[in-house]
Amino acid sequence: MTFEIGQRAEITRTYTGQDMRDFAALAGQGTEVPQAVPGPLIGGLFSYLLGVKLPGRGTNYLKQSLEFLTPAPVGEVLTASVSITRLRPEKHLVDLETVCVAADGTRICQGRALVYVEDVGKD
């Protein structure tokens, strides 16, 4: 597959109160239900995008950083996206910007990801 700088993929997701109860139970928090979407659930959206959409199958995480700017509201539509910012085909590396926004455009978090993809420069 050929990749280009600026290429982008996104996913939208709404986390419900039930999702928060399920997360609390799985995380061993008992009845302490998060009032905002926890960072690991948002990070999971980026994992999905990188592994399934862009770059997709065969992607290996090398590094990721996320800066959380404001709490993500439960029950609101969130849109997570990844965009290619740099390609290094000789090293099989792809640098991406990661962003999650609320329905009103408020930036929830932002960051970077570095992934290894064997076929960065192949058609």
Q: What is the CATH number of the domain that holds 14?
A: 3.10.129.10
Cα separation, 81 vs 96, in Å, equals: 10
Q: In sequence order, which residues have a C-beta less than 8 Å from that of residue 75 and are 6 or more positions away?
A: 14, 15, 16, 17
Q: Is 122 within a domain?
A: no
Q: How many domains does the chain have?
A: 1
pTM, two decimals, is: 0.89
Judge whether 38 lies within some domain: yes
- The number of residues making up the chain comes to 123
pLDDT for residue 36:
93
Q: Is residue 121 part of a domain?
A: no
Q: Which helix (H) or strand (E) holds 79?
A: strand 77-88
* 41, part of any domain: yes
Is 111 part of any domain? yes
Which of 9, 87, 86 shows the shortest CA–CA distance to 45?
A: 9
Note whether residue 36 is domain-resident: yes
| Alpha-carbon radius of gyration of the chain | 16
Q: Which domain holds residue 85?
A: 8-116
Average pLDDT over residues 33-51: 92
Instruction: Note whether residue 1 is domain-resident.
Output: no
Does 18 map to a domain? yes
Q: Encode pLDDT of 79-116 as tens digits.
A: 999 999 999 999 999 999 999 999 999 999 999 999 99
